[in-house]
Amino acid sequence: MQSTCKNKAYLALMQTSKEIQECIRAELAKTDLHVTEFSVLEVLYFHGKQTIHEVAQRILVSSGSMTYVIDKLERKNMLKRVPCPDDRRVIHLVLTPDGEAFMQSIMPRHQERVEQLFGSLSEEESGTFVQLLGKIKHQLHVQV
Protein backbone atom coordinates (compact mmCIF):
# COMPACT_ATOMS: atom_id res chain seq x y z
CA MET A 1 0.00 0.00 0.00
CA GLN A 2 1.11 3.54 -0.59
CA SER A 3 0.14 4.73 2.88
CA THR A 4 3.18 3.00 4.30
CA CYS A 5 5.43 5.95 3.67
CA LYS A 6 3.30 8.50 5.50
CA ASN A 7 2.69 6.05 8.28
CA LYS A 8 6.39 5.47 8.66
CA ALA A 9 6.92 9.19 9.03
CA TYR A 10 4.15 9.35 11.58
CA LEU A 11 5.52 6.50 13.66
CA ALA A 12 9.07 7.83 13.47
CA LEU A 13 7.92 11.25 14.61
CA MET A 14 5.94 9.96 17.56
CA GLN A 15 8.59 7.56 18.72
CA THR A 16 11.50 9.94 18.40
CA SER A 17 9.75 12.67 20.33
CA LYS A 18 8.85 10.22 23.04
CA GLU A 19 12.44 9.05 23.30
CA ILE A 20 13.62 12.63 23.57
CA GLN A 21 11.09 13.25 26.31
CA GLU A 22 12.41 10.15 28.05
CA CYS A 23 15.95 11.42 27.68
CA ILE A 24 15.05 14.77 29.21
CA ARG A 25 13.28 13.03 32.04
CA ALA A 26 16.46 11.10 32.78
CA GLU A 27 18.47 14.30 32.73
CA LEU A 28 16.03 16.03 35.07
CA ALA A 29 16.06 13.11 37.47
CA LYS A 30 19.20 14.65 38.95
CA THR A 31 17.20 17.71 39.97
CA ASP A 32 13.92 17.58 41.84
CA LEU A 33 11.96 18.74 38.81
CA HIS A 34 9.74 16.74 36.53
CA VAL A 35 9.28 17.28 32.81
CA THR A 36 6.13 19.34 33.07
CA GLU A 37 7.59 21.55 35.79
CA PHE A 38 10.67 22.07 33.67
CA SER A 39 8.56 22.92 30.66
CA VAL A 40 6.80 25.68 32.58
CA LEU A 41 10.08 27.17 33.75
CA GLU A 42 11.49 26.85 30.25
CA VAL A 43 8.66 28.94 28.81
CA LEU A 44 9.17 31.64 31.44
CA TYR A 45 12.91 31.55 30.97
CA PHE A 46 12.67 32.11 27.23
CA HIS A 47 9.62 34.33 27.05
CA GLY A 48 9.50 36.12 30.39
CA LYS A 49 6.29 36.82 32.27
CA GLN A 50 3.37 34.84 30.86
CA THR A 51 -0.18 34.16 31.90
CA ILE A 52 -1.09 30.68 33.10
CA HIS A 53 -3.20 30.32 30.02
CA GLU A 54 -0.35 31.23 27.69
CA VAL A 55 1.97 28.72 29.29
CA ALA A 56 -0.69 26.01 29.14
CA GLN A 57 -1.15 26.62 25.44
CA ARG A 58 2.54 26.41 24.74
CA ILE A 59 3.16 23.20 26.61
CA LEU A 60 -0.27 21.70 26.00
CA VAL A 61 -1.45 20.60 29.39
CA SER A 62 -4.88 20.93 30.94
CA SER A 63 -5.75 23.78 33.27
CA GLY A 64 -6.12 21.34 36.12
CA SER A 65 -2.56 20.16 35.61
CA MET A 66 -1.35 23.74 35.41
CA THR A 67 -2.74 24.53 38.84
CA TYR A 68 -1.08 21.45 40.26
CA VAL A 69 2.30 22.12 38.66
CA ILE A 70 2.31 25.81 39.53
CA ASP A 71 1.51 24.99 43.14
CA LYS A 72 4.51 22.73 43.26
CA LEU A 73 6.81 25.24 41.60
CA GLU A 74 5.62 27.95 43.91
CA ARG A 75 6.33 25.75 46.92
CA LYS A 76 9.80 25.15 45.54
CA ASN A 77 10.18 28.89 45.23
CA MET A 78 10.85 28.76 41.51
CA LEU A 79 8.12 31.14 40.41
CA LYS A 80 5.43 33.46 41.71
CA ARG A 81 1.80 34.01 40.80
CA VAL A 82 1.20 37.69 40.09
CA PRO A 83 -2.43 38.78 39.66
CA CYS A 84 -2.93 41.01 36.65
CA PRO A 85 -4.40 44.40 37.58
CA ASP A 86 -5.83 45.00 34.10
CA ASP A 87 -7.81 41.80 33.95
CA ARG A 88 -8.65 40.34 37.28
CA ARG A 89 -9.30 36.88 35.87
CA VAL A 90 -5.70 36.65 34.79
CA ILE A 91 -2.66 35.54 36.76
CA HIS A 92 0.86 36.02 35.48
CA LEU A 93 3.72 33.70 36.27
CA VAL A 94 7.16 35.15 36.94
CA LEU A 95 10.41 33.40 37.74
CA THR A 96 11.75 34.23 41.18
CA PRO A 97 15.46 35.05 41.46
CA ASP A 98 15.88 31.49 42.70
CA GLY A 99 14.05 30.16 39.67
CA GLU A 100 16.09 32.33 37.37
CA ALA A 101 19.31 31.16 38.98
CA PHE A 102 18.24 27.55 38.83
CA MET A 103 17.45 27.78 35.16
CA GLN A 104 20.73 29.48 34.46
CA SER A 105 22.48 26.64 36.18
CA ILE A 106 20.82 23.83 34.27
CA MET A 107 20.06 25.33 30.87
CA PRO A 108 23.62 25.19 29.52
CA ARG A 109 23.68 21.43 29.99
CA HIS A 110 20.21 21.11 28.53
CA GLN A 111 21.10 23.25 25.54
CA GLU A 112 24.22 21.20 25.04
CA ARG A 113 22.15 18.04 24.94
CA VAL A 114 19.72 19.57 22.47
CA GLU A 115 22.55 20.67 20.26
CA GLN A 116 24.10 17.26 20.43
CA LEU A 117 20.80 15.67 19.44
CA PHE A 118 20.35 17.96 16.48
CA GLY A 119 24.06 18.34 15.88
CA SER A 120 24.19 15.80 13.12
CA LEU A 121 21.84 17.97 11.08
CA SER A 122 23.37 20.71 8.99
CA GLU A 123 21.96 24.21 9.30
CA GLU A 124 20.10 23.58 6.09
CA GLU A 125 18.69 20.30 7.31
CA SER A 126 17.53 21.88 10.56
CA GLY A 127 15.75 24.47 8.51
CA THR A 128 14.13 21.85 6.34
CA PHE A 129 13.14 19.89 9.39
CA VAL A 130 11.41 22.88 10.98
CA GLN A 131 9.74 23.66 7.72
CA LEU A 132 8.36 20.15 7.32
CA LEU A 133 7.11 20.15 10.89
CA GLY A 134 5.42 23.42 10.09
CA LYS A 135 3.59 21.85 7.17
CA ILE A 136 2.42 18.96 9.34
CA LYS A 137 1.36 21.28 12.11
CA HIS A 138 -0.57 23.36 9.66
CA GLN A 139 -2.55 20.32 8.55
CA LEU A 140 -3.50 19.71 12.17
CA HIS A 141 -5.58 22.82 12.12
CA VAL A 142 -7.26 22.06 8.84
CA GLN A 143 -10.74 20.62 9.09
CA VAL A 144 -11.02 17.06 7.90
Partner DNA sequence: ATCAAATATCTCAAATTAAAGACAAATGAA
Partner DNA sequence: TTCATTTGTCTTTAATTTGAGATATTTGAT
Q: Which of 42, 80, 91, 100 binds DNA (CB under 7 A)?
A: 91
User: Which residue stretches of the chain are H helix?
Assistant: 4-28, 35-47, 52-59, 63-75, 97-117, 123-140
Q: Which of 24, 42, 58, 68 binds DNA (CB under 7 A)?
A: 68
Cβ atoms of 109 and 30 closer than 8 Å: no
Interface positions, 24-63, toward DNA (CB under 7 A): 25, 29, 34-36, 51-53, 56, 60-63
Q: Which is nearer to its own copies, 32 or 122 (CB)?
A: 122
Give the CA radius of gyration of the chain.
18
Choose the one of its own copies, DNA, none that binds residue 115, judging by a C-beta under 5 to 8 angstroms depending on kind.
its own copies
C-beta of 114: minimal distance to DNA in Å?
A: 20
Q: Which is nearer to its own copies, 86 or 142 (CB)?
A: 142
Interface positions, 69-88, toward DNA (CB under 7 A): 69-70, 72, 81, 86-88
Interface positions, 104-123, toward DNA (CB under 7 A): none
For residue 27, CA distances in Å to 31, 58, 113 come to: 8, 22, 9
Residue 94 bridge partners (DSSP) = 80
